[in-house]
Each structure stands twice: as structure tokens, then as C-alpha cells.
Structure 1
């Protein structure tokens, strides 16, 4: 998906069930923040109400879906920069889409934490995103139940801050690695906060498959294929670690597009009715 040219830096993009959520910074001087929902299948887009805050500070937002109530929601929290570091999050607000509401609702969060990255994932009505504690500087994962709108703190495995959060057979997982191996850490038990870990050795990715380009992890498909994307938007790699196979899928017509303007998502569904459902009164 290509970001419109009038948008500049600080772009956050996520996709759930056929809809794409964008939070961008528009303009070079005004630095006006803008959030919107898009349906790539139809080209429709709608701008969301601005998050209200007591003062002019930063805003981070996450797109979510509750499969029980069949509702899309957006969770936003404000934070205040201090020097080169962020202070803890402050106001937490939720916007429910398609429920007749047109404004943000403030909710309570008893966990004090700092955001560290835009990595996040929504799995079966639960949003996960990484953070750090205020005092001890420990890495944690915030677990937010989309339906009840309750927060919970999960202790993460060591050195997970740079690893993408992914959906692994309905469980939260952290995925990292290189061209030769993939390290997968799975949250097996939420109550006991028990993690498992395994390393998959990938088949040799020769020069004629990858070349000299760097790769980044997109996620895991429902058939447990690890998807990697090339540094330039030219091809995807589907790696089956158990079968030790690699399939390259070339992308045509993207040569003139900047890498920073391209975002890759897996398990996309096409539904022309999504915008009507999402914004029904």
C-alpha cells in the first residue's frame, strides 16, 4: 500500500480483517496528526476524530478487532517527550467504530509504562504491544482485552524489544533471526506467563534467491510459513522451516516506489462491505 504524497514522517500502519489503519504526520510545518481507516479493496477511506488531550503531547494509536461483538476499535495513549526519552504514557482513550459513537472515551489504566516501539499484534480480540516499566526499566508486554477494555502486564522474554510480535496459531509469538535461522518464542500460558523457544535452521538462501539485499520479517501465515520481504519492494520469501523449503514470489510494477512508502500484510481479506459495517450509525 502506498502512502499519499501529502503525508510525511512518523507513519504508523496496521491491518486487521481487510481494513488498514494509518496514523500519519501531515505537512512540513504544521505537523498535524491524522488517523484514518482505509479499505484497499475499494479505495475508500475515512478520517477519524482527533484524540483530545490536556496538553500538546505525542499520541500513539493501535487498531483492534473484537470477534465476539464484531467491532473495530482504536486504542490511543498520550505521552510527553523529555529530552531524547519518552516519559510514561498518560491518557488512554478508546474509539469504537460502527457503534454509533463519534468521540473518544477515556479509560483507566493502572499500569505505568513507557512505549518503546510500534510493534503490536491483535489476536482473537486481544491486543499486545511491548513497553518498559517506569522505574526498573524491565521489558514487558501490555495485554489489552478489546471487549472488556482491561489492561494486563506480561513479563516478556529477555532481549525481545526489537523482535516483531506475530500471531502463531492463535498465540502471541516473537519472531527474529537471520538468513540462516529463525528464533521463535511463543507465549504458551498467559496465566503462568510461560514462554517456549525454538530455533529453525533455514535452508541455504543462495545468491540467486536473495542476492545482497537485506530482509525483514513480515509475519507467519496460517500454514506456519514465515514471510520475509526484500529491502526493495521486489519480492517476498515464504519459508517453511519444517519442510526446509523457500518459495520466492516476485512483485512487478513497484520499481519506482520508495521502500518507505510500501507496507506488507499477510492474510488480507477482501470485503466491499467493511466500511459500511465499520461506520454504521
Structure 2
């Protein structure tokens, strides 16, 4: 143990370590840039371990260390363990209750938070079962926000929702294959995938995902495995026989009030988008939350969200919709103020817009701006029209026509593609409408007008050659621990 003390003292004097005063006599040595933390009092006469306030450590010398999501405890004096089950719950930490307040040491809240932040979400969920104090701390919004601000620089993870015609559902988690040097292959992680989970119209914000199942929206945190099914909306517009109904549920975050909100658009229409009606609802993700109807502005125009794409920029949710069969628009919903803005995409001389049911286009983020990626003529002519909203206030648009490299035309021949958003470097994700013997996506590079085919391996074989709906979204934020209140 003396050698261990010497190493700890020596490490504390190095520049890579920081010595932080936690209480009058307690200090913590933390190694920056790693997942290791060592705690010992200044005189090495007393010790602190990570326990609730109701528990304490008998005076002695301990060294508490964190390695690979587990704790090890080394002690130099004999300590009795009151409960072997308790010790198991604490992942090997020896605990004992003190009979004297004189020997009791309380653990600073900030110190507990700093150590908890270095743990993976799976361990934190287990630690919630240890005591009410830990459960309250880990579930608090303050702690969740602190965890989210810690950069963990993980590789982007791709999530895929699959739903067949009989209602069978599965949520697949995919990561980049380690054997693919050019990043052209994703592999399904069977341990992180969730059969029976997922649904329609997947959206993600801050590691919370939302999808639609039958008449209800569901919120799911893949890190904590929490699932929250929201109540159904009692809509004021009812679809009659022969009418079409479209419902979308993007999720966003209000940074001003630190709230997560679900935004719902419901539209009904007759053939050819006749008799079009739409309404909007908001659900604040909190205990006792209810659906609240959004009151639109005076010049509100009903619209149908026929496309599947949307993206969140700051506190604004953007999606593409149709005002009628020949006019599409960008609809923006400000999460904080709960206000809607509708900006139609203009027509220039010589422009020919296909009817809504035939146009292959969707909204993307391009260089930090809103854009419409129209690939209706990609198959036949190798052309893409890119509409960019240069100034939202002035409703000023620009348009450019992209020409796919001729040597890659075979990649899109006789293939109906859907836009699935963009990746970090701005490439547009295109996915086939139907998957046959295998799953894959393609990246369209707007700068070089080239396509890259990316394989998806490990999808269960029972999803091949069957009619199924699927959606894709990247989750490239650092790991977060957002607790879903019910």
C-alpha cells in the first residue's frame, strides 16, 4: 500500500494531474483525459468513498479508483461489511455504518457528480437502485445537463427502425465497421439492438429518439433503455372516408426553459390535396405533461407534411410540406416561442415542378442553411436541383443544378431513392425505398457530385425480401443521460 501511496503522491505533483480541495481536509486526484479518479484525504488518515449521505466509512485508509465501469477498493485496516448483498450492489465497495457522528464524513455533492459523470449510462441506471439519494441525484435535470456537456467524442452511431406489414418492429443500432478503412460499411451491434422497439418517422435530438406507433408517439432513450408512450391526441379535425391523414412527430429542445418538446402536425386531405386541413400540437416532456394545441398566426396556410424529412437547427424544427399539389414550402416551428413560419419555394421562369405525389425531394441542412434537395430527375438524367434559403427574413432563395458524374449513373438506375438527411461533412444520405437481398445507403457529395455506396451488414435475415418500412437517423452527440419523467 505504501508504494500505492507513493505513486499517488507522485502523480499529484505531475502537470497532467490536478489537485482539488473538496472539503477542509478532503482532496481528490483526477487524471485529465482518462476515466480514472482516485480519492484520499489530505493527511491520508481518513477516506471517502462514493456512498449516500446515510452511509459513511469508518476511519481508516482507503483508495477508491474507477476502472472500466467498475470500482475497486483497497484498504489497509480491517473493515466489516454489514451486508454482502450491499457490497455486491456497490460493485465491490466495502461499506459500514458508523455508530458515532464523530467518525462520519459526508461526501460533497459536487464530488459525487464529478465521479458519476465518468460512468457510462448503464452503470448509472444500476446505481439508481442503491438509494433514494443517488436516484434523486442521477435523475435530476442538473446532472443530466452536466453529463451532456461533457465531450465524449464517440463515433457516430446509426439507428434503423424497421416495421413490417404485420406490425413487427425492431430498432437496430449500427456502428462503423473496424475492418472498413474507407468508412463504407456499417455493422449491426446485436447487443445494442432492441427487438419490438421502434416505429414510424424516426427523429432524434440529444440522444432522445421519437417514433410513431399506431396512434401514439413514443420517446426512447437508447442509453438508459427508458421508453415513454405519450397519450393520443384528441384531434379537432377528423378524416372522413376516402380522405388521407398524415401525422408527424419531430422532437426538439427549448434551451431557454431547458425543456424537451414534441411537435405534432396532423393534416387531412381529399384526392389531389383538396379540402386540405392541418393543425399542430405541442407536448412538453415533463411529469404530468399534456398535449396543447398551437394557435397559428393570422396568415396561416394549411399544409400536408408528405415528406419524411426534417432537421433541427438550434431551437427550430424545419420540415418540408405541400400547400397544394404544385407548391411546396419550408415550415419552421420555433420550440421556445411555439410559433410557425411558412416559406414557399418559388418558381423561376422555365421551372417545372412535378406534382406532390411524383416529386422526389426533401429538406436538408446545407452549409448551415435550409435547403431542398430535389432528385426527381437523378435516375433519368443524373440531375439534382438544390434550392437554398439564403435569407429567411426576406424569403430569398437560390437554385443550382447538380450533375452526377456519368460513370456513377448506374448506381441510381431503376432505383427509387429517399432523402434521409445529411452526415457531419454535409453529404446527403440517400436510401432505396425498398430493400431486397441486402441493405445499403448512399452518400451524395454536393461538392464533387459523386456517390459513395455504404453497406449495412448484420441485419437479421427475416427482414430480407419482405414488405417493410424503415427509417434511418444518425446519433452523433456525446453520450447523454436524459431521464424521462413520467
Is TM > 0.5 for Structure 1 vs Structure 2? Answer: yes
Q: Which residue of 2 aligns with 1:167?
A: 365
Higher-Rg structure is 2
For residue 18 of structure 1, the aligned residue among 193, 207, 224 is 207
The size of the alignment, in residue pairs, is 268
Contact 2:163-2:468 at 8 Å conserved across structures: no
Q: Which residue of 2 aligns with 1:176?
A: 374
Q: Structure 2 length as normaliser, TM-score?
A: 0.48
Alpha-carbon offset, residue 23 of structure 1: 1.6
Contact 1:11-1:23 at 8 Å conserved across structures: yes
Matched, 1:72 2:260: yes
Contact 2:206-2:480 at 8 Å conserved across structures: no
Alpha-carbon offset, residue 139 of structure 1: 3.6
Q: Which residue of 2 aligns with 1:261?
A: 469
Gaps of 5+ in 2: 1-159, 169-198, 240-244, 348-352
SS of residue in 2 equivalent to 1:148: coil
Contact 1:187-1:193 at 8 Å conserved across structures: yes
Gaps of 5+ in 1: 26-32
Q: Structure 2 matches for 1:1-281, cutoff 5 A?
A: 1-3=160-162, 7=167, 11-25=200-214, 33-54=215-236, 56-57=238-239, 60-66=247-253, 68-69=255-256, 70-82=258-270, 85=273, 87-89=275-277, 91-98=279-286, 100-110=287-297, 111-119=300-308, 120-133=310-323, 138-158=327-347, 159=353, 161=356, 162=359, 163-177=361-375, 178-179=378-379, 180-203=382-405, 204-205=407-408, 207=410, 213-230=415-432, 231-232=434-435, 234-254=439-459, 255-257=461-463, 258=466, 260-269=468-477, 271=479, 273-274=481-482, 276=483, 279-280=484-485
Q: For residues 90 and 182 of structure 1, what CA distance do their matches in structure 2 show?
A: 30
For residues 20-45 of structure 1, what are the alpha-carbon distances to aligned partners after superposition, in whole Å with 9 as ceiling and x for unaligned?
A: 211232xxxxxxx1210123455432
Alpha-carbon offset, residue 82 of structure 1: 4.8
Q: For residues 115 and 67 of structure 1, what CA distance do their matches in structure 2 show?
A: 25
For residues 199-244 of structure 1, what are the alpha-carbon distances to aligned partners after superposition, in whole Å with 9 as ceiling and x for unaligned?
A: 222222165x667644332222231222222442522222323245
Alpha-carbon offset, residue 73 of structure 1: 1.2
Contact 1:16-1:63 at 8 Å conserved across structures: no
- CA distance 1:88–1:240, change in 2 (3 Å): closer
Alpha-carbon offset, residue 19 of structure 1: 2.6
- CA distance 1:93–1:86, change in 2 (3 Å): farther
Contact 2:202-2:472 at 8 Å conserved across structures: no
- The RMSD of aligned alpha carbons is 3.4
- CA distance 1:242–1:107, change in 2 (3 Å): closer
Alpha-carbon offset, residue 173 of structure 1: 0.7
Q: For residues 87 and 190 of structure 1, what CA distance do their matches in structure 2 show?
A: 28
Q: Structure 1 length as normaliser, TM-score?
A: 0.78
Q: For residues 314 and 250 of structure 2, what CA distance do their matches in structure 1 show?
A: 13
Structure 1 or 2: more helix by fraction: 2
Alpha-carbon offset, residue 147 of structure 1: 0.9
Alpha-carbon offset, residue 16 of structure 1: 2.8
